[in-house]
Amino acid sequence: MTKVAIKNENITSFGGIYHIMDVFSKLGFEKLTESVLGKRGNSGKAFCHGSIFGSLFFSYLCGGECLEDINVLIGQFKQRPNTLLPGADTVGRGLKELAEENIVYKSETSGKSYSFNTAEKLN
């Protein structure tokens, strides 16, 4: 005989993602990124860097392959109470804010140029 359980909760196909969101929240990930990278925006209404990284990371864990997949998954993420994550456009802008120029090194012996990026803000 099969037992059926009636649940009043929202069920998502991405089992465990809400638990991971809770862990990120309890660990203070957003406060950590804000202390290292600083605040975004002047009005205080902008998403913090932690929310941007969280949205990108949660999308990746749910099988997202590009930024636009965040927009598809945001509906699932919103089923968790008190969840407010940025969409793909905001994530893209936030990542561009952290970009730095490449440093070009030219070898004196071979004459070849090599470019690299230290990404000081993220290291």
pTM for this structure? 0.76
Question: How far is Cα 59 from Cα 64, in angstroms, rounded to an integer?
Answer: 5
Tell me the pLDDT tens digit for each residue of 53-74. Answer: 999 999 999 999 999 999 999 8
Name the strand (E) or helix (H) holding 115.
Answer: strand 113-116
Q: Where are the domains of the chain?
A: 17-122
How would residue 119 be classed by pLDDT, with cut points 50, 70 and 90? confident
Q: Is the pLDDT of residue 92 over 90?
A: yes
Alpha helices in 6-119 (DSSP H): 17-27, 29-37, 49-61, 69-77, 88-97
CA-closest candidate to residue 86, choices 27, 122, 45: 45
How would residue 80 be classed by pLDDT, with cut points 50, 70 and 90? confident
Question: How far is Cα 15 from Cα 35, in angstroms, rounded to an integer?
Answer: 31
